[in-house]
């Protein structure tokens, strides 16, 4: 994703906010995610508009002209690395890294879905938002799967983490909000930084597969639009003290997480990702993605602080 500064000046994701502003923004976000996602399909863990988007991709599949140089290397290492990484080509390394990050997301949202009340039992707006949010994340896993199919990787399965980590992911959603809100926000921010880093290297890694590269970017941007909105929504939970805790957590959480993605040093600059996360203010995001996503009012440029028609964020 080529970084470019928007002409409007957005505020930092760590901008201060009042309780009244946060309450207002939960209502605005709820309007946005209904317009963006459509109706919740609880049994399918899906949303009608997200389902339609996936079906549109599937109706017009794109496949790489050539398989990976050694697909068996991907299959031996995509769940857990079993071989030295230095000799592995960057296409395979990037797809392995994408799987490992998506796998963590899949495990986390599965645990959170099981811990949350069904939508018909969810009364506060925040609880309804949470159910929609998880359905969006399940949609991301389907989009990730399409990325693998684009490169003829049709034997990818979603494998649980080790029992200890599985238990951590099951317990985490049940903790008090004051404990989970800062790390939950940082996790969303980390996801966005990862997607930006992937977007930045796509053209170089897949330079000989232009159509496949473009399809992966289209799939990635569908995920990024949601992730942009998610970091604003998760930021909306943070008290002033929570904001400070989240800022402090960025470095240790990023470093700990990407230590578990051993492909990272061969693909990304994690130190730069940390710097970008702490400085994140939306100004480097492509305008086309921002217009499809949602930004809290207290991060928007002065004069762009009203919700637009149908819930999406459009500069006024």
The answer to whether residue 9 is domain-embedded is no
Structure tokens at 277: 């996360």
86 within domain boundaries: yes
- HSE at residue 206, side-chain half, CA atoms within 13 A, is 28
- Beta-carbon count within 10 A of 282 CB: 24
The predicted model scores a pTM of 0.91
Tell me whether residue 8 is in a domain.
Answer: no
The pLDDT assigned to 176 comes to 63
Residue 7 belongs to a domain: no
Low-confidence ranges of the chain (pLDDT < 50): 2-5, 7, 307-316
Q: What is the pLDDT of residue 106?
A: 93
15 belongs to a structural domain: no
> Token match 């921010």: residue?
189
- What stretches of the chain adopt beta strand conformation (E)? 40-41, 46-47
Domain count of the chain? 1
Residue 3 lies in a domain: no
Helices (H), 38-82: 48-59, 71-77
Collapsing DSSP to helix, strand or coil, 283 comes out as coil
The model's pLDDT over 131-146, given as tens digits with 9 standing for 90+, comes to 999 999 999 999 999 9
Burial of 179: CB neighbours in 10 Å, binned 0-12, 13-18, 19+: exposed
Question: Residue 64: is it exposed, middle or buried by C-beta count within 10 angstroms (0-12/13-18/19+)?
Answer: buried
Within a domain: 6: no
Residue 40 carries which DSSP code? E
Residue 218's nearest CA partner among 92, 58, 103, 44 is: 58
Nearest to 266 by CA among 258, 274, 254: 258
Sign of dihedral through CA atoms 69, 70, 76, 82?
A: negative
310 DSSP 8-state letter: G
**Structural domain that includes position 144:** 20-311
1: in domain: no
pLDDT at position 271: 97
pLDDT at 308: 41
């Amino acid at each position: 994703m080529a970084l470019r500064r928007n002409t409007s000046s957005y505020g930092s994701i760590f901008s201060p906010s009042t309780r009244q502003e946060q309450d207002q923004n939960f209502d605005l976000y709820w309007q946005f995610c209904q317009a963006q996602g459509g109706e919740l399909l609880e049994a399918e863990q899906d949303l009608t508009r997200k389902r339609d988007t996936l079906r549109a991709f599937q109706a017009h599949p794109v496949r790489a002209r050539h398989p990976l140089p050694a697909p068996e290397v991907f299959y031996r290492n995509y769940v857990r690395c079993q071989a030295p990484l230095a000799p592995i080509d960057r296409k395979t390394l990037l797809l392995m890294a994408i799987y490992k990050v998506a796998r963590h997301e899949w495990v986390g949202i599965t645990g959170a879905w099981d811990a949350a009340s069904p939508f018909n039992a969810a009364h506060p707006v925040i609880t309804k938002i949470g159910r929609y949010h998880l359905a969006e994340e399940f949609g991301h896993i389907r989009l990730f799967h399409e990325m693998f199919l684009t490169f003829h990787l049709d034997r990818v399965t979603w494998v649980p983490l080790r029992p200890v980590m599985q238990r951590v992911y099951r317990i985490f959603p049940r903790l008090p909000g004051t404990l989970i809100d800062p790390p939950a926000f940082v996790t969303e921010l980390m996801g966005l930084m990862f997607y930006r880093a992937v977007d930045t290297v796509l053209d170089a890694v897949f330079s000989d597969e232009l159509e496949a590269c473009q399809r992966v970017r289209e799939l990635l941007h569908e995920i990024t639009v949601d992730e942009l909105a998610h970091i604003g929504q998760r930021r909306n939970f943070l008290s002033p003290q929570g904001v400070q805790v989240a800022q402090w957590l960025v470095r240790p959480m990023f470093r700990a997480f990407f230590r578990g993605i051993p492909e990272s040093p061969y693909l990304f600059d994690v130190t730069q990702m940390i710097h970008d996360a702490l400085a994140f203010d939306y100004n480097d995001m492509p305008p086309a993605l921002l217009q499809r996503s949602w930004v809290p009012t207290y991060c928007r440029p002065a004069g762009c602080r009203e919700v637009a028609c149908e819930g999406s964020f459009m500069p006024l």
